[in-house]
Amino acid sequence: GRLTDDCLAVLPGLVRGTPTRLRHLPGTPMVRLSPGADMPPVLIGGAGRVAIRRTLQYGDGWFPSMTTPEAVAGVAAILRQGAAERGRPVPSITTWVLASLGTQAPNRTAVVASLASGYNLPVDRAAEIPITGGPAEAAERLAAHAAAGADEVVVSFAGGDWFRQVELFAELSGC
């Protein structure tokens, strides 16, 4: 809520080591962290309106999870418009995807059921999220995220033989 916004507002000054007034705390103390450092990029997680607003106000990038390329495309348009209105660079987009690759990995039905129960999602919504099958399907799904506006994609593997899934994933780029 508001505390998150307050913390995001003071974070750059604190990291850089500049005297920073903490207006959200009683007595509004002035704090300086030393030594200062260059401010790293701030990625704002979440897929709701508040996360999108925070991305435009405080973030260098947006990092949704459990989303689809279609949803990414919609938010990418909002981020472009919001950045133009604010005269700031368009935030980057890093998406998170869940993959279960290969014949030894949990099948699509099991992954969807796990997502639906673990995240309280409707089954049809959960079915849109995972990447299953082999390298060809993974390449197609990752390309859809890129076409929607994702600059980077973080991949997590669901169950099964993790090393084999990484090998299959490496086939996408010829590693």
Rounded to a whole number of angstroms, the distance between the first and last alpha carbons of the chain is: 43
Per-residue pLDDT at 82 exceeds 90: yes
Per-residue pLDDT at 166 exceeds 80: yes
pLDDT tier for residue 134 given thresholds of 50, 70 and 90: confident
pLDDT score for 161: 83
Cα 175 to Cα 172: distance, rounded to the nearest angstrom? 8
What does the domain layout of the chain look like in residue ranges?
Answer: 1-40, 42-170
Confidence (pTM): 0.87
Structure tokens given for 87: 């005269």
Per-residue pLDDT at 7 exceeds 90: yes
Cα 71 to Cα 44: distance, rounded to the nearest angstrom? 16
Handedness of CA 95, 60, 44, 15 (dihedral sign): positive
More reliable by pLDDT, 159 or 34? 34
Question: Per-residue pLDDT tens for 15-69?
Answer: 999 999 998 889 999 999 999 999 999 999 998 999 999 999 999 999 999 899 9
Question: Per-residue pLDDT tens for 86-122?
Answer: 999 999 999 999 999 887 767 888 889 999 999 899 9
For domain 42-170, the CATH class is alpha beta
pLDDT score for 105: 66
